Amino acid sequence: MKTTALLLLSLAALTARADDKPLLAVPGKVILEAKLDGAPGAPWKAAKGKWEAAEGAMRGSELVEDKHGAVLRIPNKMQDFTIEYEFKFDGARSTSLSINAVKDHMARIMITPKSVTIQRDDNDHEGPDKAVVFARFPADLQPGTWHKVRLDMVGDKMYGQVDDLAAWGASELFTTPKASPGFTVGGQSVCFRNFVLREATLNPGWESIQATLPKPGEKVAPAAAPGKGAAKGKGKAAAKKKAE
């Protein structure tokens, strides 16, 4: 009996390590783990939108009166980290995993039912800085289907993945402190579950993994036309407001 119990424990440990396989990042100590099986509580803070329990998950929806996408964040400040979670569309036109810099935005994985975009964000609102799209993939993300997201940020690099769509990019901005990871939702609505934020270190085998991925800027599909997932409004400020 003892031998069987030990064998089962060993198999469970091996399975857990397989799920946490290193990509850009080697996952380390858990900073926050949340099943997201109900309405959000501390440390989550809703800035905009409606956030509620929904069938064993957490659902976020944009409110028309906000004139802004729904936003939910945690106040953590990090340096090198990895985030994993699952989501499913339930009528929304977009969702994102967004990371802030100490001031303004830093990076995000932007997702619509028809595309996945991995990018460095515009970091100065009205200034000369612009977002840099590392990759934009065509996608077919059906409503009611759960999808997996992973974001690694280590040193000056980020790695983003939604299901089997993956890309990376680098920026000096990424070496600065990172803050307030969170979700955005444009429209009605998106469900989330199984969020894990961990400390991370650089994977010694990253260069070999990097060689299997598209080079930054190599896979950039055209952006959606206005009214089909793109931000409405004129100018940089309007587009940026919808991305927050």
Three-state SS at 110: strand
Q: Which two tokens stand for residue 197?
A: 């934020």
CB-CB contact of 74 with 45 (8 Å):
yes
| Six token digits for residue 216 | 């930054």
Average pLDDT over residues 88-109: 95
Per-residue pLDDT of 5-50, as tens digits, reads 433 333 333 333 435 678 999 999 999 999 999 999 999 999 999 9
The residues with which 182 forms a beta bridge, in sequence order, are 73, 98
pLDDT, mean over the chain = 87
Distance CA 150, CA 198 (A): 11
Q: Which amino acid is at 33?
A: E
Q: State pTM to two decimals.
A: 0.85
Give me the amino acid identity at 150. R
Q: Measured on CA atoms in the order 204, 173, 47, 76, is the torsion positive or negative?
A: positive
Rounded CA-CA distance 181/184 in Å is 10
Q: What is the CATH number of domain 22-237?
A: 2.60.120.560
Per the structure block, which two tokens stand in for 108? 């995000």
